[in-house]
Amino acid sequence: MGRASERVGWRRQLTLALFWFGISFVWGALLAVTLPFILVPEHAGPGSPALVAPDAKNTALSILETAGLLIALLVQPAAGAVSDHLHTRFGRRRPMIAIGALGAVASLLLIAVSPSFIYLVGVYCLLQFSMNVAQGAYQGLLPDTVPPDQRGRASGWLGVATLAGNVAGVVVAGPLAPRTACLVIGGMVLVTAAVTVTRVPERPSVDQSATRIADRRPPLRPVAALRAYVAEFARYPDFCWVVLSRFLIFTSLAGIQRFAAYYIHDAYHGDYRLFGWNLGSAQTATSVVLAVIIVVGILTTYPAVRLSDVIGRRAVIVSAALLGAVSFLLLFLATSLTQVALFAIPAALCFGGVVSVDWALMADLAPRSRAGKFLGFSNLATAGSQAAAPTILGPVIDAVNAHTGTASGATGTGGYRVLFITGALFFIGGAVVLRRVRLTRIPDSDEDAPVSTRFAVT
């Protein structure tokens, strides 16, 4: 493992961020435009059958994603903790990244040939398991190699990689047949993981001897081990508040991303004109609109990082969350695809601000010797939000849409208005929660000292 006290040049930071691009490419392409149209293709046929009834598509999407993301909630923190204690001649992070990436590629090949909804749920769960094995270890690799005073800039690179991966995913997958897109997604995982495994060296750390001593202690009983695992986080309340805030903000962002394809299809009924340009299909329209939004987010990352160095990371994230709330309230009033793109710009600024700054804030507030465990735990926010949005809102959207349809039988859109109001409330909640964070960074020399025994309160 590389020592985090060493200076890291921009090329190394870019290499470190590359797999984050691959991870974001997967979920941007798969969740935004590929899975919705595997479930219900715009033009179903023998090679691309509809796997669920159209009037149950939002509920089916919620079942699919919830099943997979519940696995992610469990796997990523565990994978991060395992990588903290793994000792191989290839390092402690890279072997798990390689194994997870290969499993993800195999899962995507199976998704491409899904013959039924139940089969799709099963292989999607396998994909979530594999990707989170890789990501849990990968998140520990970053603070291993980046010193504290460079984490702001490194977080900016991560933000760029996240947003660039998202936009590349939706742009590349948009014009492709959904099942063909799975093959391209698999190729991206393979390439970015291979570069990370081969180009990011790991060396033994100065903390490894202490870790080996801890590894030789008698194992705890399962209940005691779980209690000890959870109790450690109580010593770092500010980190936990950031995780909760991340969950609330990302739930809003996940909600609009998950249901964008079906919202555009149902709300605009073939009128897919963006600034006068006819995009032709709901799949292409979804891809282009999301791409525009994410590009705006990318342009936000560098200013957000620089601003966070001046006013603090917390202030940037709070401001971003409030922008997101404004955006969702505007989307409630949208009557055309062009208005959707324009009204979503504040949400794009929110997305760029949060993803470029919040990793640095979490890394600052986590003990470095157990970074894999703590940043893996942060997946409770990331994956939890991805699960919460479709689980809570999918059935609600279908139910409200069914009661707001027109007399001519056209699909109702009232459920999507519920989505926008709920999202605005979650953004505001994320901003309020973040106000409880007191510290700016846990000093590495004090990371094992008890910081607090309870959550900080105002």
Written in H, E and C, the secondary structure of 389-436 is HHHHHHHHHHHHHHHCCCCCCCCCCHHHHHHHHHHHHHHHHHHHHHCC
Q: Which helix (H) or strand (E) holds 274?
A: strand 273-274
- DSSP one-letter code for 153: H
Q: Which helix (H) or strand (E) holds 278?
A: strand 277-278
- The domain tally of the chain equals 1
pLDDT for 152-184, tens place per residue?
677 677 778 888 898 899 889 988 999 999 999
Q: By percentage, how much of the chain surpasses pLDDT 90? A: 33
For residue 21, tell me if it sits in a domain: yes
For residue 2, tell me if it sits in a domain: no
pLDDT for 358-394, tens place per residue?
877 887 887 766 766 777 677 667 767 777 777 788 8
Residue 85 main-chain phi, psi, to 5 deg: -110, 10
Higher pLDDT, 168 or 454: 168
Q: Give pLDDT, residue 369.
A: 66
Residue 52 main-chain phi, psi, to 5 deg: -140, 165
Q: For strands 273-274 and 277-278, give the pairing.
A: antiparallel
Cα–Cα dist 262/415, whole Å: 11
For residue 451, tell me if it sits in a domain: no
Helix, strand or coil, per DSSP, at residue 48: strand
Query: What are the beta bridge partners of residue 33?
Result: none
Q: Give pLDDT, residue 391.
A: 77
Cα–Cα dist 318/312, whole Å: 10
For residue 454, tell me if it sits in a domain: no
Question: Contact, 301 vs 352, CB < 8 A?
Answer: yes
Burial bucket for residue 414 (CB in 10 Å: 0-12, 13-18, 19+): middle
Note if the pTM is more than 0.75. no
pLDDT for 69-79, tens place per residue?
788 878 887 88
- DSSP one-letter code for 45: B
For residue 364, tell me if it sits in a domain: yes
Q: Give pLDDT, residue 371.
A: 66
Flag whether pLDDT at 186 surpasses 70. Answer: yes
For residue 4, tell me if it sits in a domain: no
Q: Give pLDDT, residue 457.
A: 35
Burial bucket for residue 102 (CB in 10 Å: 0-12, 13-18, 19+): middle
Higher pLDDT, 424 or 149: 424
Sign of CA dihedral 262, 264, 270, 272: negative
Q: Which amino acid is at 163?
A: L
Written in H, E and C, the secondary structure of 360-382 is HHHHHHCCHHHHHHHHHHCHHHH
Q: Which domain holds residue 185?
A: 10-446
For residue 3, tell me if it sits in a domain: no
Q: Which amino acid is at 380?
A: L
Neighbouring CB atoms inside 10 A of 407's CB total 5
Helix, strand or coil, per DSSP, at residue 299: helix
CATH of the domain at 329: 1.20.1250.20
Q: pLDDT-based confidence at 440, cuts 50/70/90?
A: low
What average pLDDT does the structure give for the chain?
Answer: 82
Q: pLDDT-based confidence at 19, cuts 50/70/90?
A: very high
Cα–Cα dist 254/185, whole Å: 20
Q: pLDDT-based confidence at 125, cuts 50/70/90?
A: very high
Flag whether pLDDT at 407 surpasses 70. Answer: no
- DSSP one-letter code for 336: S
Q: Which amino acid is at 98?
A: A
394-403 mean pLDDT: 88
For residue 415, tell me if it sits in a domain: yes
Encoded tokens for 258: 């998950």
Cα–Cα dist 453/10, whole Å: 38
